[in-house]
Amino acid sequence: MGQRRTAGFVRRYMAPGMEHCFGGPGPSGFGQLGVAGGDADHDIEAALERWVEKGIAPGTIIGAKRGSDFDSASLLLRTMPICVWPKVPRYSGKGSTNEATNFTCY
């Protein structure tokens, strides 16, 4: 079928440093545990709902790494873009490597 045709109804996201479903050294919180709170830029479930109900396909999702993978109120350690495959996040060379705003999906 090909990537061009399937892009209208499916997206694949790879979360570097994330263990199975959550946890690990990378940003592993992006709404799958009900943590992000309904923001379609930070919550994969909200992004899917917006796609189905409003026809707005999801793009980059911002993942978060917190001190506790189970507590949304715990200290935010890092954010990172989770790009639509086959794109990957690339550091801009400026600013903190712990902030998603300093990365672009390529």
Give the percent of the chain with pLDDT over 90: 57
pLDDT, the chain, mean: 88
User: In the chain, how many H helices and how many E strands?
Assistant: 2, 4
Please write the tens of the pLDDT for every residue from 14-66: 888 888 877 888 888 888 766 545 789 999 989 999 999 999 999 999 999 98
Closest CA to 87 of 68, 60, 47, 67: 60
DSSP three-state, residue 96: coil
Confidence of residue 7 (pLDDT cuts 50, 70, 90): confident
